[in-house]
C-alpha cells in the first residue's frame, strides 16, 4: 500500500527537489502568498495557525511527515534570535501538538548542529556555534522524544531554487546577472551535496524503517 506522505517546507532547496523528483508520491506544502509559478498547484499551510495545521492532518491522515521547513539564513538568525527560534522551534512544536501518533516524523536537519574543525559522525555530540545551529539542536531534541522518528542531517544542498534567486547556486547566478555585489564566506568549509541526489537519498530513508540519526554528505569538504 502506498504511504500518504506530506512534505512541509517544499520551497526549500531540498524540499523543492523532493517535490519535483517525486510529484506523485507526496503532497507538497508551501506558505500562503507564494507567487512563484513553480509552486502554484501546491497546497498551502500557515504553520503559525494552529487550526490550519490541525485541519491538514485531519484531512490527509499522513503515514509520513517529511519536515524540511526551517529558516537557514545564518546572519538573519544572529540578528533576530527570537524570530529564528519561533520559525525553527516554535513551528515544529506546533506541528508536534497535532501530528497523529501513528505518523512517522522525518526531520531534515543541518550540519550546522556542529561547529569548528573535524568530521562528525552520527554519535558525535552537537556543538553549534550559531543561533541557527542552536535552533536546529533544540528542534532535533523535540523530534527524538517521538518514537519511530528519524533525523537526517545533510550537507549543504546545491541546486536550482523554485524562484531562481535563493540557494547558493541561484543566488550567485542572479547577483552576477544583476551586477550586484557578492560576499563570499572565506572561513568556512562545508560538505556539499547535489540537491537532486540528496532528494533521492532522503526519500529512500523516509520510506524505510530506519530511525534515529543519519548523516548524508559528500566525501570531501570545500570552502
Per residue, what are the HEC states of 135-178? Answer: HHHHHHHHHHCCCCCEEEEECEEECCCCCCCCHHHHHHHHHHHC
Would you say residue 118 lies in a domain? yes
pLDDT at residue 115, as a whole number: 83
Q: State the CB neighbour count (10 A cutoff) for residue 180.
A: 9
Residue 115 lies in a domain: yes
Would 37 be classed as within a structural domain? yes
Residue 169: inside a domain, yes or no?
Answer: yes
CB 7 within 8 A of CB 66: yes
108 in any annotated domain: yes
The number of domains in the chain is 1
Q: Is 222 inside any structural domain?
A: no
Q: What is the CATH number of the domain that holds 126?
A: 3.40.50.720
Digit-by-digit pLDDT tens for the chain (223 residues) are: 799 999 999 988 899 899 999 989 999 998 887 666 566 678 889 999 999 999 999 999 999 999 999 998 888 999 999 999 999 999 999 999 999 999 999 999 999 999 877 788 899 999 999 999 999 999 999 999 999 999 999 988 777 766 555 656 555 566 666 677 767 666 666 677 788 999 999 999 999 999 999 999 867 666 6
The verdict on residue 223 lying in a domain is no
Note whether residue 221 is domain-resident. Answer: no
Residue 133 belongs to what domain range? Answer: 5-216
Q: What contacts 41, CB < 8 A, 6 or more positions away?
A: none
pLDDT number for residue 116: 74
Cα 202 to Cα 15: distance, rounded to the nearest angstrom: 10
Amino acid at each position: 500500500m502506498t504511504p500518504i506522505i506530506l512534505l512541509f517546507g517544499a520551497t526549500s532547496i531540498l524540499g523543492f527537489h523532493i517535490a519535483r523528483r517525486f510529484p506523485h508520491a507526496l503532497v507538497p506544502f508551501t506558505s500562503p502568498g507564494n507567487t512563484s509559478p513553480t509552486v502554484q498547484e501546491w497546497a498551502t499551510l500557515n504553520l503559525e495557525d494552529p487550526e490550519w495545521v490541525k485541519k491538514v492532518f485531519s484531512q490527509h491522515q499522513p503515514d509520513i511527515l517529511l519536515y524540511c521547513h526551517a529558516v537557514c539564513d545564518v546572519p538573519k538568525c544572529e540578528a533576530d534570535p527570537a524570530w529564528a527560534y519561533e520559525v525553527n522551534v516554535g513551528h515544529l512544536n506546533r506541528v508536534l501538538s497535532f501530528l497523529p501518533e501513528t505518523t512517522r516524523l522525518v526531520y531534515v536537519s543541518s550540519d550546522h548542529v556542529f561547529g569548528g574543525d573535524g568530521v562528525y559522525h552520527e554519535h558525535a555530540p552537537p556543538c553549534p556555534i550559531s543561533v541557527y545551529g542552536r535552533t536546529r539542536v533544540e528542534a532535533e531534541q523535540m523530534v527524538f522524544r517521538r518514537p519511530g522518528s528519524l533525523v537526517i542531517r545533510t550537507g549543504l544542498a546545491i541546486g536550482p531554487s523554485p524562484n531562481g534567486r535563493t540557494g547558493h547556486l541561484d543566488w550567485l547566478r542572479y547577483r552576477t546577472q544583476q551586477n550586484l555585489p557578492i560576499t563570499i564566506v572565506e572561513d568556512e568549509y562545508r560538505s556539499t551535496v547535489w540537491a537532486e541526489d540528496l532528494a533521492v537519498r532522503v526519500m529512500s530513508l523516509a520510506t524505510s524503517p530506519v530511525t534515529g540519526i543519519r548523516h548524508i554528505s559528500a566525501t570531501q569538504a570545500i570552502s
